[in-house]
Amino acid sequence: MSDAPLVLGIETSCDETGVGIVRGTTLLADAVASSVDEHARFGGVVPEVASRAHLEAMVPTIERACETAGIALRDVDAIAVTSGPGLAGALLVGVASAKALALGLGKPLYGVNHLAAHVAVDQLEHGPLPEPCLAMLVSGGHSSLLRVEDVTTGVEPLGATIDDAAGEAFDKVARLLGLPFPGGPHIDRAAASGNSVAIDFPRGLTARRDMERHRFDFSFSGLKTAVARWVETQQRAGVAIDVNDVAASFQEAVCDVLTRKALDAAVTHGIEDILIGGGVAANSRLRAMAVERAEAKGIRVRVPRPGLCTDNGAMVAALGAELVQRGRAPSALDLPADSSQPITTVVA
Ligand code: KG4
Ligand code: ZN
C-alpha cells in the first residue's frame, strides 16, 4: 500500500478551488473552497470573480489539504492539475500553481482532463473501474456519454449535449421558479413533494428522426423553454403555479432522457457497467431511476457519493495517481491551460 504514489491534485476549472491528496486509490484529503455564494446574485458563475477567488483560496486550501492528510508537500510523488476544459482564467490559476509546486519540489507534473478526472474519482470509493465502462457525466458545464476503456488513455466520446448542459437546465428552471442558485438541489428537494406526471414536458432528441443523427446526444434548451412557456401561460391565466409539480415534472423529463440514452449506449456497446458523475449525479431521482432501469437490463450502476460528484481536487489526484501507476509520461512544464481540451486528450 505504501508503495502506491502519493499525489496532490488541483482543480480550478469553474468555481470550486479543490485540492485533493490520494495515495493510490486511498483518499487522504479533499479540501474545497467554493466561491458559489459570490456568484449567486448573478444567477451563474462570473469567470473573473471565480479566477480572483481561486487566487485567494489556493495557498490556504493546499495547506488545509496537507494538514488533513498529515503529509508535508515534499512527500508527494507527483502534482496533478486540471488543464481543461473549463473557464480559461480559472484554469490558469490552477495550472500556474501546479507548475510552481512541481518546479519547486522537483516532482513530475500531470495536466489532466477534467472529464476524465470525474470518471477516475469513483475508484476512491468503489475500487478499480470496470473496463470498459460507460460514463455519463452531467454537470453545470457538461453532459456527455463516454466509452471508457482505460481512463488514462482511452476515452471515446459517444454523445454530448448540443445546447445546454443538464445542470444548466436545472439552474435556469430553478431561476424561473424563483428558487436560489445553484438550482439543482432546490429542484431535487421541491420535486420530492411534487407530482412528476402533472405536466408532460418534452424529451429532447428522442423522436425517431432525431435518433438517427443524435442517438446519444442530449438537448435541454427546448425543455427549459417549454417550462418557461408553461409558467407564463399559467401566470397569464391567473392560475397559481405549483412549484413542486413543475419541479417534479421537469426533473422527470431530464432523468428520463439521461437514463434512457445511457442505457441505450451501454446495451449498444455491450457494456455492463455505467458510471454517473458530475454535480447532477447528486440528484436523488436520477440515481434511483438509473439503478431501477439498469437492473432490469442486468447492468450495474456506480455513482460516487455527492461530495465526489461535484468538482473537487480528489478527482484530479485520483486520475494523477492512476497515470503514475500506469507509467504514463508527465506533461511539460510549459503546459498550457486549454479551455476546450478534448476528452480524447487525457494528459495534456
Ligand atoms: O460538477 P459541478 O459541481 O460543477 C460543474 O462542473 O458544473 O456541477 C454543478 C451543477 C449545478 O448545475 C447544480 O445545479 C447541479 O450540478 N446539481 C444538481 C444537484 N446538485 C447539484 N442538479 C440536480 N440535482 C441535484 N441534487
Ligand atoms: Zn465538473
Q: Which residues contact 140 (CB under 8 A, 6 or more apart)?
A: 14, 45, 165, 167, 168, 171, 182, 279
Say if ligand 1 is within 6 A of residue 310 CB. yes
Distance (Å, whole) CA 64 – CA 111: 22
Distance (Å, whole) CA 313 – CA 45: 19
DSSP three-state, residue 139 = coil
Residue 43 confidence (pLDDT): 79
Per-residue model confidence as pLDDT tens digits over 213-253: 999 999 999 999 999 999 999 999 999 999 999 999 999 99
Measured in angstroms, how far is the CA atom of residue 334 from the centroid of ligand 1? Answer: 32
Residue 35 confidence (pLDDT): 87
Measured in angstroms, how far is the CA atom of residue 15 from the centroid of ligand 2? Answer: 10
DSSP string, 265-328: HHHHTT--EEEEESGGGG-HHHHHHHHHHHHTTT-EEE---HHHHSS-HHHHHHHHHHHHHTT-
Contact 15, 53 (CB under 8 A): yes
Contact 7, 324 (CB under 8 A): yes
Residue 2 confidence (pLDDT): 64
Best CA proximity match to 246, nearest among 163, 175, 180, 166: 175
Measured in angstroms, how far is the CA atom of residue 243 from the centroid of ligand 2? Answer: 28
Say if ligand 1 is within 6 A of residue 182 CB. yes
Say if ligand 1 is within 6 A of residue 171 CB. yes
Say if ligand 1 is within 6 A of residue 139 CB. yes
Does the pLDDT value for residue 346 go beyond 60? yes
Does the pLDDT value for residue 1 go beyond 60? no
| Residue 101 CB coordination number (10 Å) | 18
Per-residue model confidence as pLDDT tens digits over 22-66: 999 999 999 999 888 888 888 788 999 999 999 999 999 999 999
Per-residue model confidence as pLDDT tens digits over 165-204: 999 999 999 999 999 989 999 999 999 999 999 999 999 9
Residue 257 has what DSSP assignment? Answer: H
Distances (CA, A) of 89 to 14, 40, 295: 9, 19, 42
Say if ligand 1 is within 6 A of residue 280 CB. yes
Measured in angstroms, how far is the CA atom of residue 149 from the centroid of ligand 1? Answer: 26
Q: Grid coordinates representing 66?
A: 496537507
Q: Which secondary-structure segment (H or E) carries 33?
A: strand 26-34
Average confidence score pLDDT of the chain? 96
Counting atoms of ligand 1 from 1, which one is nearest the CA of 86?
A: 6
Question: Which bound ligand lies closest to the C-alpha atom of 140?
Answer: 1
Residue 242: phi, psi to the nearest 5? -90, 95
DSSP string, 61-111: HHHHHHHHHT--GGG-SEEEEEEESS-HHHHHHHHHHHHHHHHHHT--EEE
Residue 62 confidence (pLDDT): 98
Per-residue model confidence as pLDDT tens digits over 62-81: 999 999 999 999 999 999 99
Distance (Å, whole) CA 75 – CA 66: 10
Residue 165 confidence (pLDDT): 96
Question: Which bound ligand lies closest to the C-alpha atom of 309?
Answer: 1
Measured in angstroms, how far is the CA atom of residue 4 from the centroid of ligand 1? Answer: 32
Measured in angstroms, how far is the CA atom of residue 227 from the centroid of ligand 1? Answer: 19
Say if ligand 1 is within 6 A of residue 85 CB. no
Distance (Å, whole) CA 116 – CA 273: 16
